[in-house]
């Protein structure tokens, strides 16, 4: 048997390696839907104001990238603060034109 296989055979993966699946498992149906809803509602809001606030279009593109990336990865301490920072920047841009 290969040495690397022996090392990892007794390990258990604690996460689903899919942010959205993991959210629905850990937070429940309503919690997972609420968490995903944060990003979907921000995306819709940013897209609606894209003509008046170009920064909102950039934020929308980043939100789409984050949503799609997290289908293949798990939320990391390096990306989570940045996505919420982008949500805040996009929201500020939308509020300035409203």
Q: What are the tokens at 95? A: 């509020």
Within-domain flag for 55: yes
pLDDT computed for residue 8 by the predictor: 59
- Of the pLDDT bands very low, low, confident and very high (cuts 50, 70, 90), residue 77 is confident
Tokens of 11: 């390990």
Per-residue model confidence as pLDDT tens digits over 18-69 = 889 988 988 999 999 999 999 999 999 999 999 999 999 999 999 999 999 9
Q: What is residue 98's predicted lDDT score, i.e. its pLDDT? A: 78
Say if 24 falls within a structural domain: no
Q: Based on the number of CB atoms within 10 Å of its own CB, is 9 exposed (0-12), middle (13-18) or buried (19 or more)?
A: exposed
Q: How far apart are CA 69 and CA 73, in angstroms?
A: 6
pTM: 0.82
pLDDT higher for 6 or 98?
Answer: 98
Does 15 map to a domain?
Answer: no
- For residues 7 and 51, the answer to whether their CB atoms sit within 8 Å is no
Domains in the chain, number: 1
What is the phi/psi pair of residue 52, to 5°? Answer: -90, -30
Alpha helices in the chain (DSSP H): 3-8, 19-48, 54-69, 80-97
Q: Is residue 56 part of a domain?
A: yes
- The answer to the question of residue 58 being in a domain is yes
**Structural domain includes residue 16:** no
Find the domain containing 50 and state its range: 37-98
């Amino acid at each position: 048997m290969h040495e690397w296989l022996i090392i990892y055979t007794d390990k258990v993966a604690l996460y689903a390696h899919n942010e959205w699946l993991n959210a629905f498992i850990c937070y429940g149906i309503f919690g997972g839907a609420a968490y995903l809803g944060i990003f979907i509602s921000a995306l819709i809001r940013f897209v609606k104001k894209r003509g008046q606030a170009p920064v909102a279009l950039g934020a929308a593109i980043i939100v789409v990238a984050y949503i799609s990336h997290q289908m293949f990865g798990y939320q990391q301490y390096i990306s989570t603060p940045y996505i919420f920072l982008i949500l805040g920047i996009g929201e500020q841009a939308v509020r300035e034109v409203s």
